[in-house]
């Protein structure tokens, strides 16, 4: 039996708002505690800190499509950033087996002073493609993005929708084993959203693993077969996507 494509085991992630000291009298003892080792351990909360994720665990089998849903600030995007190793957990561990195609932020992996053509090579390399692979798929990437007229324009002149078109196209043409998507389709126009969703459905039909964060519950129900609900960093539900959406709406 094949191991899970994604494993997330008892993950805690802390964010720090920053320590505030009202006076030198407060600051000096705080610095002294650090020097003598009396500050809180690195995996415990300090003043002003908060847990973005609290003991979150789940597995995603190859070929499954998991939707991570919940209100704003629930920790959904943090989960994907831990999976892509943008963030490291304070406690727990995660594992991702296979090539990742990730759409976490529209302009992530793009350099504003490079052209679309140059950024295809840059972003493709970041996502694990060789130059030969990018050469072979370049025309397909550009055709799917539908921005042929602007491919030699510096991307700092692109709209958010143009960024999405190119970023999505590069990501899906990496032929990822695991595709991670964070609310990214919200910036696209409706025809391109439909095109993206059709491509996501193809990936799922081909047995690729999908993990999607979105507030669009109707879209999540169309694409995913399972749902995890987060609230204030805690996983409060894990089950079939219809049940997860009903749980969130209740």
- In this structure, is residue 1 part of a structural domain? no
Sign of CA dihedral 70, 76, 79, 83: positive
Identify the residue with better confidence: 108 or 249: 249
- In this structure, is residue 65 part of a structural domain? yes
Tokens found for residue 97 = 């087996």
What pLDDT is stored for residue 200 in this prediction?
86
Confidence of residue 21 (pLDDT cuts 50, 70, 90): very low
Q: Report helix, strand or coil for 225.
A: coil
Q: Which residues span the domain enclosing 117?
A: 6-249
Q: Which of 5, 56, 48, 1 is nearest to 210 (CA)?
A: 5
Mean pLDDT of 17-43: 54
Mean pLDDT of the chain: 86
- In this structure, is residue 210 part of a structural domain? yes
First to last CA, the chain: 36
| Gap between the Cα atoms of 101 and 103, Å rounded | 7
Q: Exposed, middle or buried, 62 (CB in 10 Å: 0-12/13-18/19+)?
A: middle
| Gap between the Cα atoms of 211 and 226, Å rounded | 10
Q: Tell me, what CATH number does 132's domain have?
A: 3.40.50.300
What pLDDT is stored for residue 187 in this prediction?
59
- In this structure, is residue 88 part of a structural domain? yes
Q: Which helix (H) or strand (E) holds 165?
A: helix 160-172
Mean pLDDT of 64-76: 95
pLDDT (tens digit per residue) in 137-181: 999 999 999 999 999 999 999 988 888 889 889 988 988 889 998
Mean pLDDT of 43-49: 71
Specify the number of domains making up the chain. Answer: 1
Percent of the chain at pLDDT > 90 equals 52
Confidence of residue 20 (pLDDT cuts 50, 70, 90): very low
pTM above 0.85?
A: no
Residues 90-119 as b or e (16 or more Cβ within 10 Å = b): bbbebebeeebbbbbbbebbbeeebbbbbb
Pairing of strands 209-213, 178-182: parallel
Q: Which helix (H) or strand (E) holds 6?
A: strand 6-16
- In this structure, is residue 239 part of a structural domain? yes
């Amino acid at each position: 039996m094949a191991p899970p494509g994604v494993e997330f085991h008892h993950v805690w992630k802390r964010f720090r708002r920053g320590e505030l000291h009202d006076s030198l009298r407060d600051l000096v003892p705080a610095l002294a505690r650090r020097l003598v080792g009396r500050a809180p351990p690195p995996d415990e909360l300090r003043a002003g800190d908060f847990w973005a994720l609290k003991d979150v665990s789940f597995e995603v089998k190859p070929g499954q499509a998991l939707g991570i849903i919940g209100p704003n600030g629930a920790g959904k995007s943090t989960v994907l950033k831990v999976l892509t190793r943008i963030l490291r957990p304070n406690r727990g561990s995660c594992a991702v087996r296979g090539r990742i195609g990730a759409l976490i932020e529209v302009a992530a992996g793009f350099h504003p002073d490079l052209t679309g053509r140059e950024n295809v090579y840059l972003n493709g390399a970041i996502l694990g493609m060789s130059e030969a692979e990018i050469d072979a798929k370049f025309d397909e990437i550009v055709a799917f993005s539908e921005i042929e007229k602007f491919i030699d324009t510096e991307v700092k002149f692109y709209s958010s929708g143009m960024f999405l078109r190119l970023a999505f196209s590069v990501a899906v043409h990496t032929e990822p084993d695991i595709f991670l998507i964070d609310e990214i389709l919200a910036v696209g126009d409706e025809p391109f959203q439909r095109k993206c969703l059709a491509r996501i459905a193809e990936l799922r039909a081909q047995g690729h693993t999908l993990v999607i964060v979105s507030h669009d519950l109707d879209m999540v129900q169309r694409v995913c077969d399972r749902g995890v609900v987060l609230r204030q960093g805690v996983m409060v539900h894990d089950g079939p996507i219809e049940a997860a959406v009903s749980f969130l709406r209740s």
